[in-house]
Amino acid sequence: MSARRTWAVARKEALHIVRDPRSLGMAVAIPMLLLVLFGYALTLDVDRVPLVVWDQSRTQASRDFVSRFSESRYFAVQDYARSYREVEHAVDSGLALAALVLPGDFASRIAAAEPTAVQLIVDGSDSNTATIAMGYADAVVQAYNQDVAISALPRAGGVLMAAPLDVRPRVWFNADMESRNYIIPGLIAVIMTVIAALLTSLTVAREWERGTMEQLISTPVKGAELILGKLLPYFAIGLLDVLLAVVMAEFLFHVPMRGSPVLLFAIAAVFLVGVLSLGILISIVTKSQLLASQLAMVLTFLPSFLLSDFMYAVSNMPTPIQVITYVVPARYFVGALKAIYLKGVGLEVIALEAGLLTVFAAGVLTLAIVKFKKALV
């Protein structure tokens, strides 16, 4: 294999990219745009749950209880209802996700230390959000119960005893529990998967459609030289995209990187070789730009978004689907990025992911070289 001929093909492909603003825009601008859009739009945090309150007691005790919700960062009181009809309208219209109903004897029963029923109505259309909202409400109620019990003990002549257990939770890796901190690293992997495969999926197919493949076949350029030459410019662009994504994650989304940037770029480089080779392989097989782009989208976006442990936990999927995820390379890249970003681990921890990505890159690149034939067939 000649390095001179490989560089000549790479230079030709680089000139084509520079002279075609659409290809250059797709290579640089689209990943950044997708990162901004998805970075701000995708969030799993449930804050400021819209709440409507029907306080039938209208006492200082009931207002104190309601204030526990309104002063919490997790709830936002939107309105005060005067009947169940207004409560139902607020939930049906989407004004409120939850409704809090206090009985008329709330204050008297609290003062008498009697059990008091308080109703929480939650819109279960979005089951995940509803479950989280109920968890928030339960925490508020438990804190209120504890305060009421503690304040009632001296009046009842009781002795305040220390709690038998003192639980002090400590969150590792994502202390602020911000979903953005683990969504952004996974999002970088998904975007790189789609863009890299889409870019190279047009390279060989474009040569066939424009009739320039006959000229390439007539030259001494070998198949491996042609594949590597076409891959190199997009590999450089891919690394540039990774650099821009890392900078945006740090300064735009304020996602801290705990691990080594060198390790991150090394893993990204191996992954880029694999997905770029996959795009070239698709281009070789289809020989059509339209079909190649469609097939690249199906083979990259859907698996990387749904089956990579990016948005949906693989452990919660049915067993047959979990088996399929083992052949999705984005799963290992997402896992490696999250480990580097959030946990700050080294290669010794993500050696399995790095090894599997290396096997994927070498296998797909070899298959693309073998599949390409210098023949008019």
How far apart CA 329 and CA 319 sit, in angstroms, is 18
Give Cα separations from 80 to 89, 117, 142 (angstroms). Answer: 12, 19, 23
Residue 339 gets which letter from DSSP?
I
Alpha helices in 93-202 (DSSP H): 106-111, 127-155, 180-200
Query: Is a pLDDT exceeding 80 seen at residue 1?
Result: no
Q: Cβ neighbours of residue 97 under 8 Å, at least 6 residues apart?
A: 49, 50, 51, 91, 122, 123, 129, 130, 133
pLDDT band of 153, cuts 50, 70, 90: low
pLDDT band of 87, cuts 50, 70, 90: very high
Kindly report, residue by residue over 362-374, the tens digit of the pLDDT: 999 999 988 887 6
Domain borders along the chain are 23-43+178-371, 49-155
Kindly report, residue by residue over 73-86, the tens digit of the pLDDT: 889 999 999 999 99
pLDDT band of 150, cuts 50, 70, 90: confident
Q: Are 357 and 267 in contact (CB under 8 A)?
A: yes
Once rounded to an integer, what is the mean pLDDT over residues 142-171? 69
Topology annotation, domain 49-155? abc type-2 transporter like fold (3.40.1710)
Q: What are the E-state strand segments in 191-332?
A: none
Q: Are 200 and 279 in contact (CB under 8 A)?
A: yes
Query: Is a pLDDT exceeding 60 seen at residue 160?
Result: no
How far apart CA 254 and CA 98 sit, in angstroms, is 32
Q: Are 306 and 312 in contact (CB under 8 A)?
A: yes
Give Cα separations from 48 to 52, 113, 233, 253 (angstroms). Answer: 12, 31, 47, 20
Q: How buried is residue 159: exposed, middle or buried, by Cβ count under 10 Å (0-12/13-18/19+)?
A: exposed
pLDDT at site 276: 92
Kindly report, residue by residue over 276-316, the tens digit of the pLDDT: 999 899 988 888 888 888 888 888 888 888 888 887 888 88
Query: Model pTM?
Result: 0.79
How far apart CA 213 and CA 9 sit, in angstroms, is 12
- Per cent of the chain over pLDDT 90 is 34
Kindly report, residue by residue over 191-203, the tens digit of the pLDDT: 888 888 888 887 8
φ, ψ at 374 (rounded to 5°)? -85, 75
| Exposure letters 328-366 (e unless 16+ CB within 10 A, then b) | bbbbbbbbbbbbbbbeebeeeebeebbebbeebbeebbe
How far apart CA 241 and CA 247 sit, in angstroms, is 10
Residue with the larger pLDDT of the pair 37 and 320 = 320
Structure tokens at 8: 């000549």
pLDDT at site 329: 92
